[in-house]
Amino acid sequence: MRTELHPMRRPNAPASRDVAQQLTEIRRLLNSWEAAATRDQPFAAVSSLADRGADATRQLFDPGDLVARIEWAKRLAGDTREVVLAQLRRAQILGPQRRVSIKPTSVDIDALSRDFPHLASVVDVVRRRVALAERSSPPSLRLPPLLLSGPPGNGKTAFAQRLAAALQSRVIQIDMSTLETPFSIVGLDVGYATGRPGVVWEAMQHESMTPVVVLDELDKARQGVGERDVTSFLYSLLEPVSAKRFVDGAIGLPIDLSRAIWIATCNDHSLIHPAILSRFQQVRVDCPRPDQMPAVIRSIHAELIKGADWRDGFDHQLDEGVLTALVLMPPRLVWQSLEEAYATCALAGRRSLLPSDIPVAARDPRSARPIGFVRFNEERHRA
């Protein structure tokens, strides 16, 4: 159902439930932003981009377009007016000039090669694009949309997150298997009761205009005709020319989304519509070989320890016996097994892991496991 918005709507008229839930936070943000967004300095940045040295910057939006949208938003009614103005004023404060992704160092790339040896072909794509970026001034990296295809649980999403860290970019993770509508990604006209900005707009409300957008399980997304196809937004956003003038359905301000980095994961690329598939550079990601697994295990262990509240209570060296107990597992199961092993170690009053701390079900390659990929991995090693 469509709701007409009138500037003279009565103050006590009911707002949509979706918008009303945001009001308290929006009013707080408006109070903090209002002081910075003055008429004399409409595009004062939160932090000076000039202080960032050689970082490359690009224009995200046209300042004149923003002024026009703010005037439009002021004519909206009630709560919707506050929601849209809050978003536009946030963009005003951050300013039209935004940082683009930095070029990863050789150390960053070598670390990706070391920690993800089974993704060597993906690392090679990054390495080649870094070489291309070095021909620009200042150097800034642009990656083609990447589709990482392979069995579940083998580190595809973890690699995307590590790459984002190397680029000093934000990660926006979207579970395509549970996505109900493309409007949650690209926004819905505020003329509708549930109209609001989408994930893409919110991702660009940041000092960097190069988020890493991870589309998990693209092959499991609902595909159909019209609004039943939740992947329809990718047709334009994966094309650099059309992405340069992306317009969120709720905000209506054209922004340059061509610098976003898109990384999709899937188990079976044949289930993806050919028109979507053709927009990605496809890379096959196989399971790590047993000789590659020690490096993968050490990488997973380092990430686990880094974020654990209990890290100071243990010695962090993994001996050969522990590595051997983990070597036939997929990366996803390694993380779970290490957590369980540390719990067992703590219960025993020790500071160092023993091979016997690894859960028996995980150590025994003959045991049944709930992750389908694991059985595939075991059969491959027995073959």
Asked if 63 and 122 sit in the same domain, the reply is: no
At residue 361, the pLDDT reads 63
Cβ contacts of residue 344 below 8 Å, gap of 6+? Answer: 357
Asked if 149 and 250 sit in the same domain, the reply is: yes
Task: Let me know if 4 is exposed, middle or buried by CB neighbors in 10 A (0-12, 13-18, 19+).
Answer: exposed
Asked if 57 and 140 sit in the same domain, the reply is: no
At residue 363, the pLDDT reads 55
Asked if 22 and 150 sit in the same domain, the reply is: no
Q: Where on the phi/psi map is residue 117: left (φ > 0), alpha (ψ -120 to 50), or beta?
A: alpha
Asked if 279 and 301 sit in the same domain, the reply is: no
AA identity, residue 322 = V
Asked if 331 and 275 sit in the same domain, the reply is: no
Q: Examine residue 254 and say whether the peptide bond preceding it is cis (omega within 30 degrees of 0).
A: no
Q: Which helix (H) or strand (E) holds 201?
A: helix 199-203
Is 296 strand, coil or helix?
A: helix
At residue 12, the pLDDT reads 43
Asked if 190 and 216 sit in the same domain, the reply is: yes
Token duo for residue 124: 């090679």
Q: Is 11 contained in some domain?
A: no
Q: Is 2 contained in some domain?
A: no
Is 27 strand, coil or helix?
A: helix
Asked if 91 and 149 sit in the same domain, the reply is: no
Q: Using alpha carbons only, what angle is made at residue 177 by residues 209 and 160, rounded to the nearest 5 degrees?
A: 40
Asked if 87 and 138 sit in the same domain, the reply is: no
Q: Is 101 contained in some domain?
A: no
At residue 91, the pLDDT reads 96
Closest listed residue to residue 220, CA positions, set 230, 209, 208? 230
Number of structural domains in the chain: 3
Q: Using alpha carbons only, what angle is made at residue 120 by residues 115 and 121, rounded to the nearest 5 degrees?
A: 150
d(CA 113, CA 348): 36
Q: Is 6 contained in some domain?
A: no
The boundaries of the domain holding residue 69 are: 17-96
Q: Which residues pair with 98 in a beta bridge?
A: 58
Is 79 strand, coil or helix?
A: helix
Point out the domain boundary residue: 96, 125, 153. 96
Look at the block and give the residue holding tokens 């703590």. 346
Q: Is 180 contained in some domain?
A: yes
pLDDT tens, N- to C-terminus, the chain (383 residues) = 443 333 333 344 444 444 444 544 544 444 444 434 333 333 333 333 333 334 688 999 999 999 999 999 999 887 888 989 999 999 999 999 999 887 788 899 999 999 999 999 999 999 999 999 888 777 778 899 999 999 888 888 889 888 888 888 889 999 999 998 899 999 999 888 788 899 999 999 999 999 999 999 999 998 766 556 889 999 999 998 999 999 999 999 999 999 999 999 999 999 999 999 999 999 999 889 889 999 999 999 998 998 899 999 999 889 899 999 999 888 889 999 999 999 999 999 999 999 999 997 655 544 434 333 333 333 333 34
Task: Let me know if 111 is exposed, middle or buried by CB neighbors in 10 A (0-12, 13-18, 19+).
Answer: middle
Token duo for residue 379: 């059969």
- The gap from C-alpha 36 to its chain's centroid, in whole angstroms, comes to 29
- The gap from C-alpha 363 to its chain's centroid, in whole angstroms, comes to 32
AA identity, residue 136 = S
Point out the domain boundary residue: 96, 119, 151. 96
At residue 70, the pLDDT reads 96
Look at the block and give the residue holding tokens 């990384």. 263
Cα dihedral sign, 176-182-186-189: negative
Token duo for residue 284: 């096959």
Asked if 138 and 227 sit in the same domain, the reply is: yes
Please count the other Cβ atoms lying within 10 Å of the Cβ belonging to residue 319: 11
